[in-house]
Amino acid sequence: MKYRRHLFCIVLLLVTFVDSGSAQDTVLHYTKTEVMVPMRDGVKLWTKIYTPDKVNGPLPILLMRSPYVDWNIGVLSPEKDTYVQNMAKEGYIFVYQNIRGKQKSEGNFIMEGAFDKYDKQVIDEASDCYDLIDWLLKNTNNNGKVGQLGISYPGELTLISAIKPHPALVAVSPQGTVGDFFLGDDFFHNGAFRLSFGFEYSFGEEAVKGDTSFPFPKWDLYDWYLDLGPLSNVNKKYFHGKIPTWNDFIDHPNYDKYWSSKAPVNYSDTPRLPILHVGGYWDQENMNGPQALYTKMEKYDSGRNFNYIVLGPWCHGQWSDSNASSIGDYRMGRNTADDFRRIQKNWFDYWLKGKGDGKFTEAECFQTGSNVWKKYDSWPDKSATPTRLYLQDNKSLSFNKPTSGDKGFDSYVSDPENPIAYRERPIELTYSDSSDWETWLVEDQRHWDHRPDVVTYKTDTLLNDLTITGDVVAHLFASISGSDADWVVKVIDVYPDIDRKKLTMSQFELTIAADIFRGRFRKSFSKPQAIIPGKVEEYTFGLHQVNHVFKKGHRIMVQIQSSWFPIFDMNPQSYVPNIFKATRKDFVKSTQHIYHNKNYATCIELPVVK
């Protein structure tokens, strides 16, 4: 059974430790206490504390901080929550706190407020966590050690705590965490705005103190967003300047200091304590963040060896479910949530309890296709060789570069009045029990591969397995009749015509890596430029890290298109300085040319392991 997550409220928790021998083998019951914990400026934050009964001696503290009301943590008592049940049996103090201005907490909520890692006097999320730990050390029967973790926004709060840590904070695990809001996670991907998510999430968090949903008058939101028209209509018709984050979108359409200062990947550096990053290959919200944060911090982790990563076949926070043995139609072959709980428990047991030998694998990454866990001494795997897979005539793919002149290309017309839906319709409210939002990245791409505005290329049937481990990069040569364009590139695993293992997966088109790039930012994300109509230009952008085996008998497919709606706004396709201020007259049809010849050889760079 799938667990639906309401506004990132995935089961997030934090782990802490216990002195070996101080707790009974089985803890049968936890008692909950609710308190308002004072911060250094007098603001009080709503906090839940679960303490195990019948446990002698001090215990470690397991901490999570969140803006959300429906946590799916702190709601169930820890011994009943499958996500932490294996740790709850040994005795921990579990603590959950709402941040400023959310739910019953006092103060003002500023979504993704700025963070200064150098200023130790400023009041921010790091100082609030510091004050919480101080209070807990004095008011609970603890052993002086604290662990923290969280998924999504709580994951970012965990990361911030680790950058300016309290001395008692011993180990952390930020999970499903944002890396950069403009370049690859929640609000933008490579400068393309995440319309439905940005609209619904900013309203949900800022319209009232608690969590809420926009009152859409239609069930199929594809139609509603299409009827909305230009982004300039949002404030004109609905928000009226009252949603701060939406106003920030309008004021900062390019990658400026506002966005760079908010990006966790920019203020992350040397790991100051053990940190376990966790992410999913099909995370529909923050796929890029854990990968980017691990990579950045690894550059500084030369002596202490504090930086580790776990990557799995998951959507956002799916590793916290009781059962993660499938995602959409893809079967993992095992309950990977159980596997993750083992990894997580071993991690915190060592750092917080001193149990185990502390010899952790640098990167423990599930390999899709083969459905096995793999261990790596470095991530990405250094044995992988960047290998280019080229688009060819007749809509084929080959590892051989085209030899024809400069005439080879394919064309399609991108129409703003008929954008390509990013998942099957109806497209419901993102955070609703009926929504397929969580698993859209693994939907069968056959629904789109015959649209006239999607160009599709594929290899012959593979005669041997092909393993790719690491970064997938698109090198796209294209020209347009307009003056701006979006480029969506998808790398797809095509199942056999008849799949004997599971007939319903026959010819299934499974997305392995995909992303979007807004053409105006091809030179700089800070200084966009119009595209010259008819000029061939190269667009190079990453499709994120993967660990996948294309099995013998399968094919590799590449799809290219210019809209992914309404998860991304529709590019007007005529250049305007600020898309958030575009009007309906700015939206035009554009003819797109995708080149595949000797001079302009569009290709996908795959990290092939031989």
Where does the pLDDT of residue 1 fall: very low under 50, low under 70, confident under 90, or very high at 90 and above? very low
pLDDT at res. 119: 84
In 459-508, DSSP assigns E strands to: 466-480, 486-494
* Closest listed residue to residue 192, CA positions, set 605, 528, 510: 528
Where does the pLDDT of residue 5 fall: very low under 50, low under 70, confident under 90, or very high at 90 and above? very low
Q: Is the pLDDT of residue 491 over 50?
A: yes
- Strands 372-376 vs 509-518: parallel, antiparallel or unpaired: unpaired
Q: Is the pLDDT of residue 559 over 90?
A: yes
Residues 399-438: pLDDT tens digits?
999 998 778 999 999 999 999 999 999 999 999 888 999 9
Q: Which CATH superfamily is domain 30-179+263-376 in?
A: Alpha/Beta hydrolase fold, catalytic domain (3.40.50.1820)
* Closest listed residue to residue 269, CA positions, set 125, 118, 166, 411: 118
Q: State mean pLDDT over 234-263.
A: 97
Bond before 566 cis per omega within 30 degrees: yes
Residues 362-413: pLDDT tens digits?
999 999 999 999 999 999 999 999 999 999 999 999 999 999 877 899 999 9
603's enclosing H/E stretch is strand 603-609
Residues 132-154: pLDDT tens digits?
999 999 999 999 999 999 999 99
Q: Is the pLDDT of residue 6 over 50?
A: no
**Using an 8 Å Cβ cutoff, are 8 and 152 in contact?**
yes
Predicted TM-score (pTM) of the model is 0.94
Average pLDDT, the chain: 92
pLDDT at res. 114: 74
Q: How many residues does the chain have?
A: 610
pLDDT at res. 363: 98
- Strands 466-480 vs 590-595: parallel, antiparallel or unpaired: antiparallel
pLDDT at res. 26: 56
Where does the pLDDT of residue 111 fall: very low under 50, low under 70, confident under 90, or very high at 90 and above? confident
pLDDT at res. 81: 81
**Using an 8 Å Cβ cutoff, are 312 and 427 in contact?**
no
Where does the pLDDT of residue 27 fall: very low under 50, low under 70, confident under 90, or very high at 90 and above? low
- Where does 140-254 have alpha helices with state H? 153-163, 195-206, 221-228, 233-234, 244-251
pLDDT at res. 4: 35
Report how far Cα 5 is from the mean position of its chain's Cα atoms.
14
In 14-138, DSSP assigns E strands to: 30-38, 44-52, 59-66, 93-98
Q: Residue 501 carries which side chain, given as an amino acid letter?
A: K
Q: Is the pLDDT of residue 54 over 90?
A: no
* Closest listed residue to residue 432, CA positions, set 181, 154, 187, 214: 214
pLDDT at res. 467: 98
Q: State mean pLDDT over 30-56.
A: 93
Q: State mean pLDDT over 476-495.
A: 98
**Using an 8 Å Cβ cutoff, are 97 and 148 in contact?**
no
Q: How far apart are CA 548 and CA 368, in angstroms?
A: 5
Q: How far apart are CA 541 and CA 518, in angstroms?
A: 10
- Strands 397-398 vs 385-391: parallel, antiparallel or unpaired: antiparallel
Q: State mean pLDDT over 443-472.
A: 97
pLDDT at res. 208: 87
The secondary structure of residue 184, as a DSSP letter, is B
Q: How far apart are CA 389 and CA 405, in angstroms?
A: 18
Both structure tokens of 452: 């006239």
pLDDT at res. 7: 37
Which of 209 and 534 is assigned the larger pLDDT?
534
Cα angle at 345 between 28 and 167, to 5 degrees? 100
Residues 302-337: pLDDT tens digits?
888 999 999 999 999 999 999 999 999 999 999 999
pLDDT at res. 12: 35
Q: How far apart are CA 127 and CA 121, in angstroms?
A: 8
Range list for CATH 2.60.120.260 in the chain: 385-609
Range list for CATH 3.40.50.1820 in the chain: 30-179+263-376
**Using an 8 Å Cβ cutoff, are 592 and 410 in contact?**
no
Portion of the chain with pLDDT greater than 70, in percent: 94
Portion of the chain with pLDDT greater than 90, in percent: 83
Domain 385-609 carries which CATH code? Answer: 2.60.120.260
Q: State mean pLDDT over 343-357.
A: 91
Q: Is the pLDDT of residue 19 over 80?
A: no
Where does the pLDDT of residue 73 fall: very low under 50, low under 70, confident under 90, or very high at 90 and above? low
Both structure tokens of 349: 């047991």
Please state the φ and ψ torsions of residue 4, each to the nearest 5 degrees.
Answer: -80, 140
Q: State mean pLDDT over 449-468.
A: 97
SS3 39: coil
Rounded to a whole number, what is the largest CA-CA distance in the chain? 79
Q: How far apart are CA 101 and CA 120, in angstroms?
A: 22
Torsion of CA 597, 600, 605, 608, to 10 degrees: 40
SS3 593: strand
